[in-house]
Amino acid sequence: MNFESTELPGLSLVMANRHMDSRGSFVKTYQRQCFSRNGIDFCAGEEYYSESVKNALRGMHFQLPPVDHEKLIFCLRGSVLDVCLDLRKESGMYGAVHAVILSEKETTGLFIPKGVAHGFLSLEEDSLISYAVSTEYSPEHDCGIHWDSFGFKWPSVSPIVSPRDSGHPVFSGFSSPF
């Protein structure tokens, strides 16, 4: 695995290696020692995946302290435009956005630190995203920022958005605890 820093502190691209043979391929997406050697102390507390139709937009999600979490995201099928919004007041990048396309064709994932909201737009009909997060889901700490309130230009004029995500507060009215 190789790691590449982004402009948002702590947000890293994770390039996993794909091993191919006559049976198909094998990709290791996480090895604790490898992450640790690269300055990332990450241990998964929960893992899950989501399947999304083309034009589905999920986000911008995060959990509030004290159960805020780090995320490790990979696209296993299809492709998505993955978007991160820095909510950390002391990061020097508060309100900054990082966007990257993740796809099954590439073995690049994204490590997202605490205090960064995450969302994505599915670019294909059947995109599959895997998530490993450092803490378990806590409904009372679940939070989000309205997907179109922070100045990012999504490449869709009418994405499919859940009622939950449509109801998140706008970025300008959000008081960050990070």
The pLDDT, as a whole number, for residue 3 is 97
| Encoded amino acid at 60, one letter | M
Domains along the chain with CATH numbers: 2-173 (2.60.120.10)
The pLDDT, as a whole number, for residue 41 is 96
Rounded mean pLDDT, 162-171: 97
The question of whether 94 is a catalytic residue gets the answer: no
Tokens of 48: 């899950």
The question of whether 137 is a catalytic residue gets the answer: no
- CA atoms 41, 39, 62, 15: torsion sign: negative
User: Residue 152 — pLDDT band, cuts 50, 70, 90?
Assistant: very high
For residue 128, give every residue at least 6 positions away whose Cβ sits within 8 Å of its Cβ, in sequence order, or none.
49, 50, 51, 52, 75, 76, 77, 78, 104
CB-facing half-sphere around the CA of 152: CA atoms within 13 A? 29
The pLDDT, as a whole number, for residue 146 is 98
Please give the mean pLDDT across all residues of the chain: 97
Helical (H) or strand (E) element with 165: helix 163-166
The pLDDT, as a whole number, for residue 37 is 96
| Catalytic annotation, pick one of 30, 61, 118, 146 | 61
The pLDDT, as a whole number, for residue 14 is 98
pLDDT tens digits for range 79-134 = 999 999 999 999 999 999 999 999 999 999 999 999 999 999 999 999 999 999 99
| Catalytic annotation, pick one of 30, 69, 118, 131 | 131
The pLDDT, as a whole number, for residue 168 is 97
pLDDT tens digits for range 14-72 = 999 999 999 999 999 999 999 999 999 999 999 999 999 999 999 999 999 999 999 99
**How many other CB atoms are there within 10 angstroms of residue 88's CB atom?**
20
Q: Which residue has the tokens 């300008």?
A: 172
